[in-house]
Amino acid sequence: MSKAVLLLQMGGPETLKDVEPFLYNLFNDPFIIQLPSFIKPFQSTLARFISSRRTPKVSVLYDEIGGGSPIRFETECQAKALEKSLRKSLDTDFKVYYAMRYSPPFLRDIIPTIKEDAIQDLIVIPLYPQYSEATTGSSLYECKDLFDKAELTNKLRITYIESWFDNPYYIQLIQQRIIDQLSLLLSDLSIQKKESEEKALREDILILFSAHGLPEKYVERGDPYEQQIKSSVALIMQHEKLKIVRHKISYQSKVGPVKWLEPNTEHTIIELAERGEKNLIVVPISFVGDHIETLHEINIEYKELAEEHGVKNFLMTRAPKANSLLIKALESLIVNVRTADR
């Protein structure tokens, strides 16, 4: 039986000329922009208007991080690393595909390859550890819809992984990323003795987990995203080296006039700085690759904001990318599916 994995990711513009079509696809998604029923027929027109208005400003931001998003390249690296690992550990010719939601390669472009490869057993993994209707839900809805239209639903055995916020390898990876930054910060603070180090961790350093924001109405309807973020953070902070460090959760990337999850990361950074915090380590908890939200919003905009308000040391943990622990996390999801099927 031919087996395969399909990784789903949000995507991003690879070049500046890709910014407007990317924004159009994003705002044309009814899971992202939820309009009243009487306006829904005009979503495409509204998406075109919003994307054309926002493109000049957003293009400047992408230009400042190198002219585009690295998310496709990073996802391709993750797919290749996972395929290599699966073939080695499971002794079978697993194939690993990847598709983007709002930029090439789109899922519709991958389906012909899945057919040509005569895949019979497919495991679908959205690269969002915490489930939200706006991300995982949107991706899986498109997946099921296109598979139905391609008449694959009844031909393949398809397993959908909806979330993996508590996967031990994922938790371990984020813990290691934080500890790496703690070591750098402690070195900068010239702390040598263990007693002084623990005091600095407890009193002088704060870890700020910044998750991508979400309109509150999603959570009010039962979306588990906020709770899964909190659960991930609780597991991460159980590490012995992190238990003595103070931490806080906030939400970034708010768009539009509706009420989003709080506290907002930007406001939180200002509040922390004004109460005297000098050393912040920001953890982009809901991302497994770099894009504009990490490279620009956190590492440029928030860093400048923090320094303007008196923060001396502002560090961001590295994204998981194709780290071996992320690959183990994804592989363990696949192994669990295979074990459950026996």
Check whether residue 208 and residue 231 sit in a common domain. Answer: yes
Confidence of residue 40 (pLDDT cuts 50, 70, 90): confident
CB contact at 8 A, 140 and 126: yes
Residues 276 and 252 in one domain: yes
Q: Give the tens place of pLDDT for each residue, 299-317.
A: 999 999 999 999 999 999 9
Residues 5 and 145 in one domain: yes
**Does 121 fall in a domain?**
yes
Residue 330 located in a structural domain = no
Give me the domain span that covers residue 148: 1-163
Q: Residues 109, 208: one domain? A: no
Where residue 172 sits, what CATH number does that domain have? 3.40.50.1400
Torsion of CA 212, 273, 179, 209, to 10 degrees: -20
* Boundary (domain end) residue, out of 163, 190, 224: 163
User: Would you say residue 304 lies in a domain?
Assistant: yes
Whether the per-residue pLDDT at 194 is higher than 70: the answer is no
Same domain, 158 and 172: no
Place of tokens 């001396």: 312
> Helix 168-188 vs helix 194-203: angle between axes, to the nearest 10 degrees?
110
Label residue 201 by pLDDT band (50, 70, 90): confident
- Token pair, residue 319, equals 């994204």
Whether residue 234 sits in one domain with residue 276: yes
Tally DSSP H helices, then E strands, for the chain. Answer: 13, 8
242 and 135, same structural domain? no
Interatomic CA distance for residues 239 and 324, integer angstroms: 19
Per-residue model confidence (pLDDT) at position 193:
52
How many Å is the Cα radius of gyration of the chain?
A: 21
- The confidence score (pLDDT) of residue 186 equals 86
pLDDT reported for residue 195: 63
Sheet holding 246-252, edge to edge: 246-252, 205-212, 279-284, 313-316
Q: How far apart are CA 175 and CA 243, in angstroms?
A: 11
DSSP string, 36-92: -TTTGGGHHHHHHHHHHHHHHHHHHHHHHTTSS--HHHHHHHHHHHHHHHHHHHS-S
Do residues 41 and 154 both lie within one domain?
A: yes
Q: 143 with 183, same domain?
A: no
The predicted-structure confidence for 123-159, as pLDDT tens digits, reads as follows 999 999 999 999 999 999 999 999 999 999 999 999 9
Percent of the chain with pLDDT over 90: 82
- Between 183 and 167, residue with greater pLDDT: 167
What are 208-261's pLDDT values in tens digits? 999 999 999 999 999 999 999 999 999 999 999 999 899 999 999 988 788 999
Domain match, 156 and 64 both? yes
Q: Which residue from 66, 69, 74, 115 is spatially nearest to 95, judged by alpha carbons?
A: 115
State the pLDDT at residue 258.
85
Residue 107: both structure tokens together:
């899922």
Residue 328 lies in a domain: no
Pairing verdict, β 157-160 and 205-212: unpaired
Query: Cα 56 to chain center, whole Å?
Result: 25
Identify whether residues 289 and 143 lie together within a single domain: no
Is residue 187 situated within a structural domain? yes
For residue 311 the two structure tokens come to: 């923060």
Q: Is residue 326 part of a domain?
A: no
User: How far apart are the C-alpha atoms of 116 and 114, rounded to whole Å?
Assistant: 6
Q: Whole-number mean pLDDT of the chain?
A: 93
Domain for residue 208, yes or no?
yes
* pLDDT tens by residue, 55-83: 999 999 999 999 999 999 999 999 999 99
Residue 86: pLDDT above 80? yes
pLDDT digits (tens, 9 = 90+) for 111-129: 999 999 999 999 999 999 9
* Single pTM value for the model: 0.94
In a domain, 323, yes or no: no
